[in-house]
Each structure stands twice: as structure tokens, then as C-alpha cells.
């Protein structure tokens, strides 16, 4: 019933910016804690950013000051604004709820940072 569709990934040079979007169907994003995750080749999926239903945000240390998570309740989307991108940010990015039982994962969107 829940569908997650990530978009916005691209190939960018170090220092560049990208805006990722997650379209959510079947649930209202305003009612759930929403998060972004990423997975690089050969590594586990890691949590990157959290936006609680109360509007508070949290980030993994490596992206603090560079990434911003937000939501648009009208469009029912979750956004990740990524600035000053580094090669270490290269990964497939996914969105999902932050509750214990995750919704079915979407296809993710590829972010590649390379010079």
C-alpha cells in the first residue's frame, strides 16, 4: 500500500549540490518520522537524516552542516538538500519512515560525486 519513489540523483563534482525528493503514496508524511538513508557498494545501508513529526531534525555527523531534510505536506514529499558534496557521499539514497517497522523500500536514487 505504501510506495516510496526517490528521484533527483545525479553525477556531480566535489563541492556541488543536489536536491533529492521522495514521493510518498499511501501515508501522510506529516504523521510519521521520516528519514533518508544511503548505501555505498560493499557497505551497509546507513541512516543519514531524520525529520520527526514534531519538526525536529537530526543528521549523521559526516553530513552535518551540509545536508538539510525537510518535507512538503501538500505534495506529500520528503526532501534532502545536499550541499558541498564529497566523494564519500557517493551512494544510492533511499527514504523511509524512521519507525521500527519500515515500509517497503523504494528503488533509491544514485548520487555519484567524482572529479
Predicted confidence (pLDDT) per residue in 12-40, tens digit: 999 999 999 999 999 999 999 999 999 99
**12-38 as b/e, with b when 16 or more CB fall inside 10 Å?**
beeeeebebbbbbeebebeebbbbbbb
Chain position carrying cell 545501508: 45
Please tell me the predicted confidence (pLDDT) of residue 96: 98
84: left (phi over 0), alpha (psi -120 to 50) or beta: left
**CA–CA gap between residue 5 and residue 105 (Å, rounded):** 9
In this predicted model, what pLDDT tens digit does every residue of 45-103 receive, in sequence order? 999 999 999 999 999 999 999 999 999 999 999 999 999 999 999 999 999 999 999 99
pLDDT of amino acid 113: 98
Amino acid at each position: 500500500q505504501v510506495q516510496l519513489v526517490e528521484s533527483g540523483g545525479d553525477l556531480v563534482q566535489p563541492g556541488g549540490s543536489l536536491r533529492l525528493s521522495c514521493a510518498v503514496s499511501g501515508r501522510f508524511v506529516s504523521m510519521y518520522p521520516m528519514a533518508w538513508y544511503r548505501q555505498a557498494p560493499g557497505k551497509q545501508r546507513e541512516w543519514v537524516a531524520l525529520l520527526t513529526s514534531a519538526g525536529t531534525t537530526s543528521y549523521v555527523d559526516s553530513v552535518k552542516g551540509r545536508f538539510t531534510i525537510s518535507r512538503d505536506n501538500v505534495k506529500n514529499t520528503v526532501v534532502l538538500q545536499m550541499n558541498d558534496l564529497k566523494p564519500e557521499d557517493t551512494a544510492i539514497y533511499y527514504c523511509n519512515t524512521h519507525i521500527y517497522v519500515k515500509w517497503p523500500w523504494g528503488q533509491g536514487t544514485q548520487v555519484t560525486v567524482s572529479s
